[in-house]
Amino acid sequence: MKQLFYFFIIIIITSFTMVGQQSQPNFYCGYDDVIKINELLFPGYKTNVDQSFRYAEAMSSFHYRNTDVLKVKVVIHVVYKTEMENLNDTIIQNQMEVLNKAFRLQNENRTEIRDIFKDIQSDAGIEFELQEVIRVKTNANFALTLTGLPDAVKQNSRGGSDAINPENFLNIWVCRIQPIPFIGGQILGYAYPPSGLANWPEGTAAPSQNLDGVVIDFRVFGSNNPNILTVNGQSHDAQGRTTVHEVGHYLGLRHIWGDGGGIFGGNSCAEDDGMADTPNQGAQSPGGCNKSANTCIDQQNDKPDMIENYMDYSGEVCQNTFTKDQVNLMRSVLMNQRSTLVSAYSIDIEKSWTVYPNPTTDQIFIKNELWSIGNRVLLKNVTGAVVLEAMVSGNLIQMDISQLSQGLYFLEYHNQGKTSIQKIIIHD
């Protein structure tokens, strides 16, 4: 059985190789790999992703045309081997700006869209807030291999960095992704699509929830990144829109040409991205900004390939748009399969933790729902002096207060500029 598995994997890799000798772009996204490899690892995965997509699509058509801004908190893991890979905060802030501009249609190049697509260009009404940056030095390499995706980057035990509350936070890992074996092409990033009607229900074919999120190569993160990714003499012009594209996948979008065609299946005008307002497109754009490309000539309402769309493979400089239907789908996913992201944002930190026993004599337990690992909780006396502190290491924190004299104390937790305080009484 295992041999059969490797056989299929080798077929996948070989299909890269064969297409690679024809017109394989040097740079691409690993979304197809996510679907194909996970279908082998977890039979039924593709059906589950498809069903999940259809559900979000159906819900998007009548329920979620409201205009509320949906907010998502983001945890960024910088997993680096060299200092060059340890991207500084300026680049991380820049990437957050590019992401927010794209999802609020505030990107400077939004007006460069051709007239034919102007009426479908849409503000997604989704905003991202940086919750935490985690930096991990590693000796590991992260590569698409014969046994799977570079998910080691998401696991402490394999030289990566464990996800933080993936139900509540969008986790983004930034690392050096190794070139694809044999052909040397480069995955810029990949993301897991939403899968399952509830969030990863038990018994559903899916990789485990702690692998959920987005992975981006460090050379294409942000638009002010001094690192340049060059493959086969071709440099990738990074504008921070690889992350926009991958977050699009994470929120349910497919490639604009339909994921069945393109790299694995050649041109296919019969394959569709499921969006009514995107033009029919038979293959990915091969980078660049070719405005005359038209891979599917339709009988009615023919339109050129939409190189302006974030879900194409056009050059990042010419990408500027999500369409109305794409926006409705992403918002539907945020109200359904990924609704815990939005509810986490709006959670009241006052109500997100409890302390027991209280009054107490020798120890207290602090139970919290969404505190960020590494943040601190402080115990102060009535004069405001810190008498004890503890690092948040999980959902339950224990504090030994047996050395403290009896009286009134205050537990303080600070996060995102907000402070939450609870009274503690210690008695003999």
Give the interface with Zn ion as residue ranges (CB under 5 A): 29, 31
Indicate the residue among 29 and 333 with the shorter CB distance to Zn ion: 29
Shortest Å distance, C-beta 130 to Zn ion:
23
Name the residue nearer to Zn ion (CB basis): 31 or 45.
31
Separation between Cα atoms, residue 28 and residue 11, nearest integer Å: 19
CB-nearer residue toward Zn ion: 245 or 338: 245
SS3 268: coil
Radius of gyration of the chain (CA): 24
How many CA atoms lie within 13 Å of 170's alpha carbon, on the beta-carbon side? 31
Question: Measured from the CB of residue 284, what is the shortest distance to Zn ion in angstroms?
Answer: 9
- Of 31 and 250, CB closest to Zn ion: 31
Shortest reach from residue 246's CB to Zn ion, in Å = 7
Tell me how far apart the alpha carbons of residues 62 and 57 are, in angstroms, rounded to a whole number: 10
Tokens standing for residue 60: 């998007």
d(CA 278, CA 295): 13
CA 115 to centroid of chain Cα atoms: 31
- With beta carbons less than 8 A apart as the criterion, state whether 66 and 147 touch: no
Q: Which residue is nearest to Zn ion (CB)?
A: 29
Structure tokens at 246: 């991958």
Segments of 300-406 assigned E as strands? 353-356, 363-368, 376-381, 386-391, 396-400
Closest distance of CB 52 from Zn ion, Å: 17
Which residue lies nearer to Zn ion by CB, 249 or 331? 249
Nearest residue (CB) to Zn ion, 53 versus 409 = 53
Beginning with the edge strand found earlier in the chain, give each strand of the sheet holding 353-356 in spatial order.
353-356, 363-368, 396-400
User: What is the closest distance, in whole angstroms, from the C-beta atom of residue 245 to Zn ion in the complex?
Assistant: 5
> Which lies closer to Zn ion via its Cβ, residue 29 or residue 126?
29
Q: Which of 293, 269, 263, 418 is nearest to 345 (CA)?
A: 418
What is the DSSP-derived secondary structure letter of residue 92? H
Amino acid, res. 293: A
For the bound state, the minimum distance from the C-beta of residue 305 to Zn ion, rounded and expressed in Å, comes to: 15
In angstroms, give the least distance from the CB of 262 to Zn ion: 10
